[in-house]
Amino acid sequence: MAEAYICSLSKVQRHAEICKEINRLYEQKNHDYGDSFHQTFVEEGMAMARIRLGDKLSRFKTLSRGCEQKVNDESIRDTLIDLANYAIMTVLEMEVAEDVAN
């Protein structure tokens, strides 16, 4: 029982570390790209978020199946981090839209 708790605690800590990494990447990309996700979300709404998430999910499927890649600049891990970021960014935009509506 104690081992399960320790393993669970270390997973919780690792989760927090990965979330910090996701946030750092978001900050860097938001700096480099400007707030393009927000701007496009305002113009296109959830359709844009579905497309970006769908593209990343397709990339994950391709990479995880071990298909030969001609462009090798993105790992499965990178793709999943991007997917998580797009999901969080979509939640942020939903919150902004809700605040504006109220």
pLDDT top residue among 2 and 64? 64
pLDDT reported for residue 3:
63
- Judge whether 44 lies within some domain: yes
Q: Is residue 12 part of a domain?
A: no
Q: Tell me whether residue 5 is in a domain.
A: no
d(CA 66, CA 55): 17
Residue with structure tokens 């030969």? Answer: 68
Instruction: List the domain range (segments joined by +) for residue 47.
Output: 17-101
pTM attached to this predicted model: 0.84
Specify if 9 maps to a domain: no
Q: Residue 49, class by beta-carbon neighbours within 10 Å (0-12 exposed, 13-18 middle, 19+ buried)?
A: buried
Q: Is residue 4 part of a domain?
A: no
Quick check: 2 pLDDT over 60? no
Number of domains in the chain: 1
Mean pLDDT for 56-85 is 91
In a domain, 66, yes or no: yes
Are residues 85 and 26 in contact, defined by beta-carbon separation less than 8 angstroms? Answer: yes
